[in-house]
Amino acid sequence: MSDATRESQVAAPDAAAAREALPDFFVRFWGTRGSIACPGHEYERYGGNTSCLEVRCGDDVLIFDGGTGLRPLGQALMAESGGQGQSLDVFLTHTHHDHIAGIPFFAPAFCPGSKISFWAGHLKPDSSLHAVLCKFMAAPLFPVPPAIFGAQVDYRDFEAGATLTPRPHVTLRTASLNHPNRATGYRVEYGGKSICYVTDTEHTPGTPDANVLGLIRDADIVIYDCSYTDAEFPRYEGWGHSTWQEGVRLCEAAQAKRLAIFHHDPSHDDGFMDQVAAEAEAARPGTVVAYEGLVLAP
Return the pLDDT at 185. 98
Return the pLDDT at 18. 55
Return the pLDDT at 2. 38
Out of 3.10.105.10, 3.30.70.260, 3.60.15.10, 3.30.70.141, which CATH number does the structure's domain 23-296 have?
3.60.15.10
Give the tens place of pLDDT for each residue, 100-141.
Answer: 999 999 999 999 999 999 999 999 999 999 999 999 999 999
Residues of the chain with pLDDT under 50: 1-13, 15
Q: Please state the three-class secondary structure of the chain as a single string.
A: CCHHHHHHCCCCCCHHHHHHCCCCEEEEEEECECCCCCCCHHHCCCCCCECEEEEEECCEEEEECCCCCHHHHHHHHHHHHCCCCCEEEEEECCCCHHHCCCHHHCHHHHCCCCEEEEEECCCCCCCCHHHHHHHHCCCCCCCCCHHHCCCEEEEEECCCCCEEEEECCEEEEEEEECCCCCEEEEEEEECCEEEEEECCCCCECCECCHHHHHHHCCCCEEEEECCECCCCHHHHCCCCCCEHHHHHHHHHHHCCCEEEEECECCCCCHHHHHHHHHHHHHHCCCCEECCCCCEECC
Return the pLDDT at 17. 52
This prediction's pTM: 0.93
